[in-house]
Structures are given as structure tokens and as C-alpha cells.
Amino acid sequence: MEGNDLNESIDRLTRMSSSLFTFPTFKRTLFALMLSSLFLWPLSALLSTYYDAISSLAYGASLLCLIVSSDAILRKAILASDPIYDFRRCLVLSLISSSAWLLLSFLGWALETVLNWRVWVKTFLLGFCASAALRLVAFFTTSSIGRAKAALSALLQPILFLILSSAWLSLNELSVIAFRFALAAIPTLTLGALAFVRTVDAVGRRSAFEMPSTSLLKAFLASWAEGLNDPIEGILEDHGEESDVYTSILTFRRADGRVKAMIVIPSFHPGPFKDVGSSSIPFMIQSAIEREYGCLASVLHGLSGHDMDLTSRRQSERVVKAILEPLSPSPLGSMASPRAQSKVGEASAGSQIFGSCAFITLTLAPKTTEDLSKEVGEKILVKAKERGLQDVMIVNAHNSIEGPLNSEGAIDDLVEAAVKSLDAALGLELKPVRVGAAKEILREYGVREGIGPGGIVVIVVEVGDQKVAYVTIDGNNMVPGLRDKILKALSEVNIDCGEVMTTDTHIVNGVVRAPRGYRPLGEVVDHNLLIGYVKRATLNALDNLELVEVEHGTAEIGGVKVVGAKQIEELSSIIERTVKRAKIAALTIFSAVSAASIVLLSAL
């Protein structure tokens, strides 16, 4: 299925982005700096310069003060408008760059000790080059303050570090050549860093996006680091495709005309990650309906993939507004069939008829059930129309993940299972329908554990002596076997059958470092606790069962910007090609810069 490729592309983006700037906390960073400055740097000075312990410790303390104060000044004076480099991230960069310098300092001591080569001063100065080069590349590729300010931010600390070390250590050799070396090395390092950035940027410029790779990186970082989505959404909007989308809505009304509950199935898709685009669209729709109608809403996953991600929050808000506008629904009456279920191969389907509308759920659980192609829906719709039905609502339960979706034979099995369950439901007697609904919020967990803000919504449909529970959990898929555990637990509270579904919210994506870039339900969340919440919601829904009238309507929205399959694949491709180009560029350019630095040292 094409959806497999799109999911793999999005997963690559999510894994890459969720690892960006996943830095240690401020306390851990400060502790590491203190360890480095008050122990490792003094040790280096003690071993390499034969300084006494007290003086070496004082040297380390002065270095710590320099790092912290210079980063504080940089953040306040130069980086105040930069969304990426807050004080903590400045300290992390300082820790990384000074560690490279420290490593080369220890290398010089080792060479002097083992081989009796008098090279410590030279390796110390090469450490200055390594530190400055790392900082130049970091600021040039990730900051948004302009090249001149970025260069100043990168070089200020290493220069001050070098001046302090030359003055404090009182080494004539270091003091004599440090100034001349820095004057010659800084232009070389800056040109090398600029050449690196230019080489990497060429990948993005030659792509369909026609923009520097580092501009894309900065847009991603602004979103992940500080939740500033305008840059990345602006890029997606500029390169997105217009599409006509719709939402299919099943409404249950009380006898007094008030809405009891709604089931909503969008034709578009949550994504692509974190809170970008339509990632939080299930909760946006759910909360908007709850406010507008004072009822509970279950927002389910239709037959769509990441090509149907909306490009921005603005597009999502436009869609939500259209859903709330008055519709002209088709009345389906107060009668429904019991739910009929069928299984073909790994595919399971359940159908329930409301008047002239069929409500169908599909799953491959416990096998992976990821995004399903529109082809599945189109084939089922043809079969339903042949049987005299006017409307069909098809749900991808999206309720089991363990590796990629095995698409071989899945389409045919899903269609066959759906048609068999549809035929079985059509053969059952229509009876008055009663509906109950309830919601639970898991206070113990949040997006980092894979639980979205929409919580758990349970809609119980009673027809005759059959009670069906439709359980919707605001998450992105679930671990294999959890669905069956929940259904088994529901049988203990007089539920005859049903389905457990996830919204596929992508607000949980990219917020933790994980193999998939997110946590499926049950990977972190305690199963028994989750099941307890589901059972409580189900019992509450059973307690408020009442006769309802059923309606079906469709909200259509034209000209909505969606990401499109090509854009997703191109973004993923740009990242892969940029990383490959960066590795080659770093090896060639900085090998040349290193060689030039060694030549400079030899000449001094």
C-alpha cells in the first residue's frame, strides 16, 4: 500500500525531529560543566603544565565562570530573539564544544608522556579550532540571527577561553603563539564552516522545495524546541495541494431534540507531527462539538493517510468551523440492527445498520493495523450501494502496531470481511435503538505516554438484547493484544461485542525519544489502569442509556490545503540526502581545515 511508504516517511521525520535538541536538563548540564571545569580541566592543567593543584583548581573555576557568564551575556545581548538558543541550550553547546577542546588537551599530554613529543601546546590550540568549528557550524545551521551575529556568538567564548588560558597558565610558548594563531585560524575556520553550510544547503535548493536545507532544519527546530509552528506550517502551506475534504457525522438525538452523542469520521488525516498541521485535529473536533452541542463526541480514523494531513492550524480551524455549521442531515429513524461481525484471514469487520446508513469498523488486530488506503473504502462502498444502502461510514480502528503493515492480501480480506458482516447485519431485524455515552480522562498520563487530551469516549448502542460498546481512545495506535484485553474486560460488564479504536492523534508524536518517535497506547500506560478507566466509562454509559433518533450528515469543505504524498516523500528525501551530504562535507572540508591549522601551527 502507498500508505506504508508515507508512514515510513513520516516516521523517519518524527524520529529525527524528536531526537533534535533532546538535551539534558539545566541541572544536569550545569553539573556536567562543573565536573568538567572543576575536575577535568584542572587535571589537564596539572598534568600538562606541572601547575600545583590549588592553582589548577582555580583555573578550572575561572573557566566555569567564563562559560556561564559568556553564555548568559550571549543569550541576553545577541540571542534574545533566537527561538532555539535559550540559556540551557547555550550551556549544552558550550559543554560539547569545550569537551572537544579538553579531549585534544588530554591527547597532547598523552603524546608528551608516552612518546616524549613536546606537542601539548599545539594540541591545545587545535582544541581551540575544534571548539570554534563546532560552534560555527551549530550557529550557522540552526540559529536565525544572521551570519555576522552567529559568527560572533560562536567565536566569542573560544577566544575568551584562549585568552584566559594563556594568561592564567603563564606558559610563554602558549602566550607567544596563541594570538598569532587565532588571527590566522579564525578566518580559515569561518570559511570552512560557511563552505560546509553552502554544500549542505545545495541539497534543499535543488529539491522541489527550492530552499536551503538549513532553512528547513530551522523551521523544524522552531517547532520542536519552542512550539513555534508558523515557519514549518508556512513551508507546508506554500508547497501543499488543494483538496476537497469532508467529515461524515452520525448523530444521536434525545427525545427532546438535544444531541446525546456524535460519531465523526474525517476524510483527512491527523499529522504530520507534534502540534503542526492537523496533528491535534481529533481533539479540536471533539472539544468544539462538546462546547457547541453539550454532548460527547467520538472522533474516529477514516480511510486516509498522511497525504491528507492538513498543512496548518489555520486549515484545521477552518475545517472545525465548517463541521459546526448547520448541516442538512438525513434522518435515519430510531431503529437499528444488532452489530454483526465477520473475520476473513487476519481481517475483522463489524457492521451495524442505522436506517439506510451502515457503520463499519475494520481491523487487522492483533496484526499491525495502520493507515488503510481509500481503495478499501471504495470497494466496500460499491458493495453497500448494490445492497440498497445510501451511506456508509467506515472506520479504520487503528488499534494494533508491531512493525510495518503487511499489505499483501489485506485489502481483499478487509473488503470481504466487511461485506460478510454487512450482509449479516442486513439480515437482522431492525429494533429500537438506545444509546449511552460517557467520557474519562486519564489524569496519570499525558502525551509523553501516548495519551491525548481527548481521553476515553465510550458510546454504548443497545439494540434488543445486544449491547455494543464503541471505545475511542485519543492516542496513536496501541500495542498488540491490548484491544483483546479491553474487549474481554468489557464482556464482564454485560457488553456483548464492540470495537476499541484510537483517534490516531499525532499530538503525541515527536515529544519523546522512542523507536517510533511516539508511544503507542499500552507501551508505557499501565494496562490494568487503562482498562479500569474504560470499564468505568462503559458502566457510566450503560447507566444513561436512552431511546434516540439517528441522523447522518456530511460536512464538505472545498479547497483545503493538504500536505500531499509528494511533499512528505520529498521532505524525507531531503533529510536523508542532506545527512549524507553533511557527512561527506564534514569529512572533506574539515579535514582540509584541520590540515591548514596544523600547517599554521608548524609555521608559528
Cell of 440: 474519562
Average pLDDT, the chain: 89
Q: What is the 3-state secondary structure (H, E, C) of 148-164?
A: HHHHHHHHHHHHHHHHH
Question: Is it the case that residue 30 has pLDDT exceeding 90?
Answer: yes
Q: What is the DSSP string of 385-418?
A: HHTT-SEEEEEE---B-SSS---TTHHHHHHHHH
Is residue 81 within 8 A of residue 145, CB to CB? The reply is yes
202-206: which pairs have CB atoms within 8 A and are 24 or more residues apart?
Answer: 202/581, 203/574, 203/577, 203/578, 203/581, 204/574, 204/578
pLDDT at residue 47 greater than cutoff 80? no
Answer whether residue 4 shows pLDDT above 70: no
Share of the chain above pLDDT 90, in %: 65
What's the pLDDT band for 21 if we cut at 50, 70, 90?
A: very low
pLDDT of residue 209: 87
The tens digit of pLDDT for each residue in 55-83 reads: 788 888 999 999 999 999 999 999 999 98
Name the pLDDT band for 474 (thresholds 50, 70, 90): very high
| Tens digits of residue pLDDT in 207-231 | 888 999 999 888 888 887 778 899 9
With pLDDT > 70 as the criterion, what percentage of the chain qualifies? 93
Averaged pLDDT, 555-561: 94
Q: Taking a C-beta distance cutoff of 8 angstroms, is the pair 563, 307 a contact?
A: yes
Name which of 48-52, 177-181, 399-403, 508-512 the model is least confident about: 48-52
Poorest-pLDDT segment among 18-22, 103-107, 182-186: 18-22
DSSP 8-state assignment for residue 312: S
| pLDDT at residue number 595 | 85
Taking residues 260-269, report their average pLDDT: 96
Residue 1 has pLDDT above 60, yes or no: no
Q: What is the pLDDT of residue 156?
A: 95
Contacts of 257 (CB under 8 A, 6+ apart): none
Residue 50 has pLDDT above 60, yes or no: no
- Residue 403's CB is within 10 A of a number of other CB atoms, namely 9
Whether the pLDDT of residue 278 is over 90: the answer is yes
pTM for the structure as a whole:
0.87
Confidence check: pLDDT of 128 > 80 = yes
Q: Which residue has the higher pLDDT, 356 or 513?
A: 356
Question: CA-to-CA distance for 490 and 271, rounded, in angstroms?
Answer: 31
**Residue 314: CB atoms within 10 Å:** 14
Residues 401-424: what's their mean pLDDT?
87
For residues 302-309, give the mean pLDDT.
Answer: 91
| Residue 170: pLDDT over 60 | no
* 204-225 burial: b if 16+ Cβ within 10 Å, else e: beebebebbbbbbbbbbbbbbb
| pLDDT at position 434 over 80 | yes
